[in-house]
Structure 1
Amino acid sequence: MSTDEATTAAAASVGDEDYVDMKFTRELRKATKDVHNLTDVLINAKFAIALSDDEVWYDGLLAFYEMYKFFETHLPERLLPKELYRTEAFERDFAYFYGAKWKDSYEPRPAVVKYLAHLEEVAAKNELLLFAYAYQMYMALMSGGQMLQKKRMIARRLWIFPKGKEEEQKQAEEDAAKATAKAAAAAASGDGVIDEDDLQARPMPAQVTICPPGCEATFFPEKINVLKSKLRRVFNSQYGAFDDDLRAAFIEESRNVFRLNLEVVRTVKGVNRANLRKLAMAAILISSIYLAIKLVIK
């Protein structure tokens, strides 16, 4: 029995329902790592400050709305479980921010039209290649989307809990901390550093556990780790059965996800305005503190 088979058997024997063999996930991640990392760097550089701005956040959601809608109308449930569907959640967020008649003036931007045309071509070739896009996009929403939403809610001071929710959030944060510590201990090497490629051991981002109005797109009622495990199992069941040609095509389309996403990200409006406004506010705050200190010293 190989090491991977032994690990899988051991997990199954203890009834770990969240366990997913990461062999294929690591293979795909390695094949897309360069373009994935470039996307992360560029997005973080562009949105580091601006995402707490409502106009930037909702225009970003609007930019990617059509893609999620496409996946949910073109992929069967065996490839995309309904628990992951986001279309209606996106639309409720848009109605909250833009108003109930937001669709009357809505028109997909050119970069999105180009993206959708490519998805049509991919779907016509093989729905499994379309799943390459869905897999990356929903994983991103359940990882980066969670972190961005939580940071945004804190920055916008929306992290206000209804009565009776404070204890629930406190417990969720304690559980997340314990899970992170456990993952760190399990994945630590001799120098105490977590192996970035050990996807099974990497700590989960803290889940957004409340849903103020306008924040539904990244809110999942089910536990994120359960949903991610479910999607990874779908991926494993398909990718493991691919021949070499289909596997190569799947990897290439997985790389295209990041390339096309970058084109769409560049269309998000209000980023420069939001960044300049927040930098100006920070400069004013720092100047005020400096003047206050000088007055105290005098």
Structure 2
Amino acid sequence: MSAETATLIPDVKDTGEKTESTDNKDEDYVDMTFTKEVRLATKDVHKLTDVLVNAKFAIALSDDEVWYDGLLVFYELYKFFETNLPERLIPKELHRASAFERDFAYFYGTDWKNSYEPRPAVKEYLAHLEQVAAKSEVLLFAFAFQMYMALMSGGQLLQKKRMIARKLWIFPTDSAEQEQQQKQAEEDAAEATAKAAATAADDGIADSDLRARPMPVQVTISQVGCEATYFPIRIATLKVKLRRIFNEVYGKLNEEERAEYIEESRNVFRMNIQLLRTVKGVNRANLKKLAIAVVFLTGIYVAIKLAVK
């Protein structure tokens, strides 16, 4: 990585050939050429992460211990990005560290920092980020871009599944009013998604274009203890803003520099897998839910057998 790249920053006045104009009439439009290039190059390791998440957390998500420990393993990363990257790369409205801390104060208590220490896997991750940051803020942005996009995509989906799981749990904790609010939020989000899809179709955008891909339903209610995944601003707008920054940065890299950027983007998923494996309570939560489900179904079966006698 050259010294020139190490100081590379996005310059709105000097856009590359493939970057979009901010004067575009469609405020949600963003050129996806570079995004697709990086996505294709990271597809294999990205898929491994998805498989691990689905395998380990599909049932355990509604368990508070699992959820908050999962947040803990990624908290230090977002704090590092927000401390070491300027707002021109990670806008203030994306910052999450404070929201994570409020969630921890809710679940672990206001003095949670007194007994908190990052686990070894997190320390190793941070050591790598330190090395990357010392080399180039652009390469550090490669990590940040993937992580904030993940929080605005998979993070929304996981939180949504968590909310659904807790609603379906035989000991519900949500009030009727909260459920009605969430139902209305879901309807509003569905309507917005339908309008966005219709606009994309009218513009002749192919289904394969990432811009036309359906957005996960945004978590639109900031429940206490669930702030880490809550964005008061429309997520589609935040994604467009971050992708435009990415286009500015990636568009100025030469072939060798892009290869370095892609390699660090792949490292995001490789290292995230190591963090996910340290999340505590997953097996316990899965066994607990499975055992209760078995008891519940057995009870139904016995009741039916007695009823037909």
Moved more, 170-179 or 116-125: 170-179
How far the C-alpha of 1:177 sits from its partner, in A, is 2.4
2:125 is equivalent to residue 115 of structure 1: yes
The residue matched to 1:200 in structure 2 has which SS?
Answer: helix
State how 1:1-298 maps to structure 2 within 5 Å: 15-157=25-167, 159-160=174-175, 166=180, 169-182=182-195, 195=207, 197-298=208-309
Aligned partners of 1:290, 1:31: CA distance in 2, in Å? 50
Structure 1 residues 39-84: Cα deviation after superposition (integer angstroms, max 9, x where no partner): 1011110111011100000000001110000000000111000100
Shift of 1:153: 2.0
Higher relative contact order (CA 8 A, sep 6+): 2
* Structure 1 residue 173 displacement after superposition: 2.5
CA–CA distance in structure 2, aligned partners of residues 283 and 33 of structure 1: 37
Q: Distance in 1 between matches of 2:56 and 2:137?
A: 33
- Counterpart-to-counterpart distance in 2, 1:74 and 1:233: 20
Provide the rounded CA distance (Å) in 1 between the counterparts of 2:231 and 2:114.
28
Residues 60 and 268 of structure 1 are in contact (CA less than 8 Å); yes or no, is this contact kept in structure 2? Answer: yes
Inter-partner Cα distance in structure 2 for 1:179 and 1:85: 24
Q: Contact 1:143 / 1:205 at 8 angstroms: preserved in 2?
A: yes
| Aligned sequence identity (%) | 71
**Long gaps (5+) in structure 2:** 1-16, 168-172
Aligned length: 284
Residues 153 and 159, structure 1, Cα contact 8 Å, conserved in 2: no
Structure 1 contact 179–203 (Cα < 8 Å) conserved: no
Q: Which region of structure 1 is more displaced relative to structure 2, 287-296 or 177-186?
A: 177-186
Question: TM-score scaled by structure 2?
Answer: 0.86
Q: TM-score, normalised by structure 1?
A: 0.89
* 1:179 positional shift: 4.2
Which residue identity lines up with residue 115 of structure 1 in the other structure?
A: Y
CA 1:161/1:205 → structure 2, altered by over 3 Å: closer, same or farther?
farther
Give the distance between the partners of 1:172 and 1:92, measured in 2 at CA.
Answer: 23
TM-superposed CA distance for 1:181, in Å, is 3.9
Matched to 1:233, the amino acid is R
Report the CA distance shift for 1:297/1:184 in structure 2 as closer, same or farther (over 3 A).
Answer: farther
Paired letter, 1:150: K
Q: State the superposition RMSD in angstroms.
A: 2.4
TM-fit CA distance, 1:151: 1.6
Tell me whether 119-128 or 288-297 shows the greater mean CA deviation: 288-297
Q: Is the 8 A contact 1:186 1:201 kept in 2?
A: no
Instruction: Report the AA paired with residue 279 of structure 1.
Output: L
Q: Structure 1: state its 5+ residue gaps.
A: 189-193
In structure 1, give the amino acid aligned to 2:298: S
Q: What is the Cα deviation at residue 159 of structure 1?
A: 5.0
